[in-house]
Structure 1
Amino acid sequence: MNSTEIILAQIEDINELNCVSFASKKHWGYPEEWMELWRDDLLLTETDFEKQQIYKLVLDERIIGFCAIQESTEVYDVTNLWVEPMYIGNGFGKLLFSFCIEKVVFNNKPIIVEADPNAEAFYASQGFVTYAQKESLPKGRFLPLMKMELS
């Protein structure tokens, strides 16, 4: 029997979490040179642990995903939501995201995410709506900016 738990990540988890985010992004078949362009954006820093609430999804004592949310005065920002490639499409992302929303979101303000184009359908299935696009790297690539209003 597999056991899963979602718990607050600690700074000691940073290397494992960064491996998850990089592997998850790479899962979509992006070229190596693009992955290098995005490396700094994909990797958590010590500062992220101070500013964001980061929860890890642990399956059989192994981190297989994480979600990070940062609150500002106007919005909650989903800064990271990653699941190990072999577990993508099995409901773990939804489980992790739902848990984090329950744990982190207490005020009635929008939740936003700058999504990977491959994750747009996932976020739409969670109630997000695309309201704009943001140019990314390499030039000519755009990311959907998505928002979910709480009612």
Structure 2
Amino acid sequence: MNSTKVFKAQIEEIDILNRISFASKQHWGYPEEWMELWKEDLLLTEHDFEVQQIYKLVLEKMIIGFCAIQELDEAYDVTNLWIAPSHIGHGFGKQLLSFCIEKVVRNDKPIIVEADPNAEAFYASQGFVTYGQKESLPKGRFLPVMKKTLSHN
């Protein structure tokens, strides 16, 4: 699949990564006022680089996406998975998620994600199962909470 490579993201790339997450979310046509409500949750912080493992997907020297996973006591949490809008739908999300799970997940704990409703089918295709929902903004909007279990042999 093309000439993509995955590398550990660097703090110096935070602005590029944040532009990708925001543009990727906007790709789904959400109203501007909703985007504003979510802005803080969409943006990576320096602290995120300290507590999460963040990997970038590079295509021909250009960062086109990133994935962040944080290990918690009970589970691994996919906190971010974003692909630049022009590259959505070409298998890059699957490639990046698979790489990160393989690289980061070392213990027999479930992998969880609070998915955007538009991404629920994608995560389901990657073996995640919806087991709950979490209220989001604006009021009355809910996110599917999904889980995947790996068995390490």
Fold shared, TM-score > 0.5 on shorter chain: yes
Q: 2:125, 2:4 → 1: CA distance? A: 23
Q: Percent of aligned pairs with the same residue?
A: 78
Moved over 4 A (4+): none
Which residue of structure 1 aligns with residue 143 of structure 2? 143
Which structure 2 residues correspond to residues 114-129 of structure 1 after superposition, within 5 A?
Answer: 114-129=114-129
TM superposition shift of 1:85: 0.6
Which residue of structure 2 aligns with residue 78 of structure 1? 78
Which residue of structure 2 aligns with residue 61 of structure 1? 61
Which structure 2 residues correspond to residues 78-117 of structure 1 after superposition, within 5 A?
Answer: 78-117=78-117
SS of the aligned residue for 1:89 comes to: coil
TM-score in terms of structure 2 length:
0.97
Structure 1 alignment gaps of length 5 or more: none
SS of the aligned residue for 2:81 comes to: strand
C-alpha deviations, 1:20-45, integer Å up to 9, x for none?
00000000000000000000000000
TM superposition shift of 1:3: 2.5
TM-score in terms of structure 1 length:
0.98
C-alpha deviations, 1:86-138, integer Å up to 9, x for none?
11110000000000011000101100000000000000000000000111000
Structure 2 alignment gaps of length 5 or more: none
Q: 1:98, 1:150 → 2: CA distance? A: 12
Code of the aligned partner of 1:94: K
The Cα RMSD (Å) is 1.0
